[in-house]
């Protein structure tokens, strides 16, 4: 049995990892999160290693309040950059692997073709800048790590766009949703399954290739398209109107284009990626 430490275990991805790990009989999840475990406190992380034999770390912990981060850069960097750096140091010291979750926000969204792992990063928000710094800290301290950038994460857990749209549709007469931001909704269950596949293959076949990878579900849509699909699937008749992002004033700038090229993660690790509408239907069944 291999002990997998999941940090940020109460978040969307962390909870789906725990849910799906039961299908991988050789993996045992050790879940930790605030307030018991703070990844920015190296002593707390070392305490976990003293109490358990950890074989691999999956870091899902993150400061994800994108707008709040604009006025709270210190804490955003603490959680998104320096915390992952601590985890990477400990992983390197213990000669174990680390999988760190990053974001499409490391790009500025000015592209018109899917972003590859070798495209130049240019984050336009504090959140994006702190996550990019986290990637650098991880690779500097533990070069054998795997970093997975993802986008538009949602699930039946926590706070996310999908759940917010479904809630607002029962409270309002109509909804306004932006149509000029394009990307791919990613079900946390799909990403969790990909991560567990990578972990399981590493322990069973010693299959591992460090570096940066992109993962989202397949397909492309706008936030407007996503909202319309959610309501149609739930047979909710609330009208949805497409509006420009300029009509919504936010502190942080969002990438207008967040489509990720997933060929590398498929080629290297052989993960299967579902189409976003199929994943969404699966999530709605569980909601």
Active site residues: 127
Instruction: Give the number of other Cβ atoms within 10 Å of residue 25's Cβ.
Output: 9
DSSP secondary structure of the chain: -EEEEEESTTSHHHHHHHHHGGG-TTEEEEEE-TTT--TT-HHHHHHHHHHS---EEEE------HHHHTT-HHHHHIIIIIHHHHHHHHHHHTT-EEEEEEEGGGS-S--SSPBPTTSPP---SHHHHHHHHHHHHHHHH-TT-EEEEE-SEE-SSSS-HHHHHHHHHTT-S-EEEESS-EE--EEHHHHHHHHHHHHHHHHHH-----EEEE---BS-EEHHHHHHHHHHHTT----EEEE-GGGS--SSPPPSB--B--HHHHHHH-----BHHHHHHHHHHH-
């Amino acid at each position: 049995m291999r002990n997998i430490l999941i940090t940020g275990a109460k978040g969307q991805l962390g909870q789906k990892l725990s849910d799906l790990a039961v299908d991988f009989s050789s993996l045992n999840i050790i879940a930790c999160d605030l307030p018991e475990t703070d990844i920015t406190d190296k002593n707390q992380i070392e305490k976990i290693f003293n109490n358990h034999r950890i074989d691999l770390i999956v870091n899902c912990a993150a400061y994800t309040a994108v707008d709040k981060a604009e006025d709270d850069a210190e804490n955003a960097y603490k959680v998104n950059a320096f915390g992952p750096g601590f985890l990477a140091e400990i992983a390197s010291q213990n000669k174990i692997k680390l999988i760190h979750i990053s974001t499409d926000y490391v790009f500025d969204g000015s592209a018109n073709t899917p972003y590859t792992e070798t495209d130049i990063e240019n984050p336009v928000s504090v959140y994006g800048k702190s996550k990019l710094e986290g990637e650098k800290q991880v690779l500097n301290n533990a070069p054998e790590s795997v970093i997975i950038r993802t986008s538009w994460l949602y699930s039946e857990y926590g706070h996310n766009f999908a759940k917010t749209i479904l809630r607002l549709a029962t409270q309002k007469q109509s909804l306004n949703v932006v149509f000029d931001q394009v990307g791919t909704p990613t079900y946390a269950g799909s990403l969790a399954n990909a991560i567990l596949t990578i972990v399981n293959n590493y322990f069973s076949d010693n299959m591992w290739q460090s570096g940066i990878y992109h993962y989202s579900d397949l397909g492309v849509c706008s936030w407007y398209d996503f909202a319309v699909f959610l309501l149609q699937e739930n047979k909710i008749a609330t009208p949805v109107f497409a509006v420009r992002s300029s009509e919504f004033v936010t502190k942080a700038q969002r990438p207008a284009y967040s489509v990720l090229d997933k060929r590398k993660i498929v080629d290297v690790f052989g993960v299967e990626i579902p189409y976003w509408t199929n994943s969404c239907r699966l999530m709605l069944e569980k909601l």
